[in-house]
Amino acid sequence: MTLFKVDARAGTVSFKASRAFYSRQSAAIAAHVFESKARVSLAETPRSFELELKARRKGTPAAELEALAGEFLNELLNQEYRLVVGGANKRIADLIVTQALFCAGGAGADGAARAAGIRARESAPEFRAEVDRLMAEARAELALTRTRTPPAKEAASRP
Amino acid sequence: MSRLTTLAEPAAVELKGLGAFNFRDMGGWHLLTNDWGRYMMLDDGEFARFMSGRLAERDPLREELAANGFVRERTDFASMARSYAEKTAFQRLLGPSLHMMVVTLRCNQQCQYCHSSVVDPSRTDADMDLATAKRTVDFIFETPNPAICIEFQGGEPLLNWPVVKFVTLYARKKAEASGRKLYLTLVSNFTLMTEERVDFLFAHDVSICTSLDGPAELHNKNRPFLGSGAAQEKVVHWIERMQARCDAIVGRPFSRPSALMTTTRFSFDYSKEIVDLYVKLGMEQIFVRGLSPIGYAKRVWGDVGYTTAEFLDFYSRTLDYILELNRKGVPIMERMALILLTKIVRGVDPGFMDLRSPTGAVLGCLAYNYDGGIFVSDEGRMLDHMGDDSFKVGDVASSDWDAVLGHPTTRACVVSSVLENQPMCAQCAFKPYCGVEPVYHYETQKSIFGSMPTSGWCRARMGMFDAVFQRLRDKECRKIFDRWLEWDRRWQENGGSSAEPEAEAAR
């Protein structure tokens, strides 16, 4: 059973976590996740991590400090388990990520060539003239809108 | 029900012969799923016999289990690989298909759950200008997906109507020149809708979606309107008007207006009234959406929020009422259930970004702020409005698609959202159909990975999966669900126009 040593005046709670179950990497990640709630100090003995959480919120009562320590241990377990699951499924997860990013990038198609193709089609005089016309119309309509009453006060739509 | 279930008798398991699968004790029966996306629902006795290797070789149940990839030595890998490929088609998409353009941050409503993420209607400096709009469309067309959907969002997009019109016409022009498929959608509160605007939207095939939270007293409480008149009346008026126009058009070439509801704690007393209103307005679907405690909603959670259990109770009650109406011949579907059923029963991807592994953020969708900032999702953009730009991955003025895809935040979101890497998800029976959302977990748990045992996201999704699977096992509900899937399939085939569910229901 984990024992929590609470010092409500100092706003700290101290406890140990066995190195047989938890890695330094998990402890460091859990501390990072906890960064907004507490400052985490970590020391090591051959058998355990010695942790001290100092609550960010001043005047945190003893019961909440103990709950904070429990929450930290949950996070530590989550991070340790993540390493186990990540290690076991690394190959399939890497394949999924690689495939997804490769396809999203165009599946090997040359992005620059694609962009150049689009630019070439859109540099046709008719296309450019049409876009200029659309821009001019939109500009005129925007100018008209801006001179009208602020929308909140508009009669707006029916009913 | 416990979220993690274990075997009642771990000793009575004969591993030899079992395929790779996850299972869940559903209370009297067990759900089995595998990575191929196949599922089986076995009663407790059948499950015990299967797990202990006591199913006879010619037992029909064993045949069925084998056909679905649950028996190791009889797995048809070619068939299972096809199922997997269909189910995870989104993993091989050529870039995002959904592009959410926030054409203005201005809004004329002060919704309970969102009003700090928008600005006053007089603040025209929060409008997307024409040059940014053009650059945004140009960027969108640089992404490689052959099908593009641009969704106009806000604020209230009708407050910057000239830019909506321009983007519609310019994007159509570009789609024509590049041979790309283009879908356009407007998400509006309808308070500034006019006949002229509807004419334009219909003429240019822009789908129209609004927010309708329910009866007037509920909608107007959730979504106070700053202008004259009540917001709900306007929404109802324009839905009726658009429905009538669709009815009058032979062959219905336009998609009917759709609506989204957002559940606040005030909605809990109105589950029947909300559904009845949707039915009265001729809506084919209702999307019972929960509120997420992120962005502005996080600050007002004490006023409008609720526990996951409260939401799930509301969801189940509403779903049951919808099913009851269907039994009486009233055709109305619940959108979330339909999304899950499309994944589970049809084994295909319904295009829903929130339930993808890896996440739909960037790979499936992007959000563009009024100033040209590019974000992994609309939730990521909302965080920026609250002062945290962690999910900004570029800018239309200076970024190209390769830079956005290669952005460290994009990579982090993708890697962190693969369920194979997630404790609890990796062994969850709902994994083949589920997904996690990095922005949600960053906001609620200060980690883009999240911690599923204490995640509200996970609790809510698991609860909805439970609700759908429990009803899927009921023969009558199953018939209704099959009908929904058929309507939806036809709707998709018709390019988004009505597939006449009324006639089908009558049959």
Sign of CA dihedral B137, B141, B143, B148: positive
Is residue A157 predicted with pLDDT exceeding 50? no
**Helix, strand or coil for residue A66?**
helix
Catalogue all structural domains in chain B, each as residue range(s) with its CATH number: 10-87 (no CATH), 95-395 (3.20.20.70), 417-470 (no CATH)
Reported as a single tens digit per residue, the pLDDT across B335-374 is 999 999 999 999 999 989 999 999 999 999 999 999 999 9
Question: In this complex, do B162 and A152 lie within 8 Å of one another by their Cβ atoms?
Answer: no
- At A158 the pLDDT is 43
Nearest to B243 by CA among B220, B224, B259: B259
Q: Which CATH number fits domain A5-89: 3.30.70.60, 3.90.1150.10, 1.10.3720.10, 3.20.20.100?
A: 3.30.70.60
Cβ-in-10-Å burial (0-12, 13-18, 19+) of B450 comes to buried
pLDDT in tens, B232-271: 999 999 999 999 988 887 665 567 899 999 999 999 999 9
Q: What is B370-439 written as a DSSP string?
A: TTSEEESSHHHHHHHHTT--TTEEEETTT--HHHHHTSHHHHHHHHHT-GGGSTTGGG-TTGGG----HH
- The alpha carbon of residue B474 is apart from the nearest alpha carbon of chain A, in Å, by 35
Cβ–Cβ gap A100/B94 under 8 Å: no
Point out the residues of chain B with pLDDT beneath 50.
Answer: 497-507
Task: Report the residue from B190, B421, B423 with minimal CB separation from A157.
Answer: B190
Task: Tell me the pLDDT band of A120, cut-offs 50, 70 and 90.
Answer: confident
Separation between Cα atoms, residue B151 and residue B378, nearest integer Å: 11
What is the structure's pLDDT at B494? 73
Is residue B233 within 8 A of residue B184, CB to CB? The reply is: no
pTM listed for this prediction: 0.90
For residue B83, the SS3 value is: helix
**Confidence (pLDDT) at B253:** 53
Domain boundaries, chain A: 5-89, 115-148
SS3 content of chain B, % helix, strand, coil (to 5): 50, 15, 35
CA distance B324 to chain A (A): 33
Nearest to A101 among B96, B130, B414 (CB): B414
Contact A12, A65 (CB under 8 A): yes
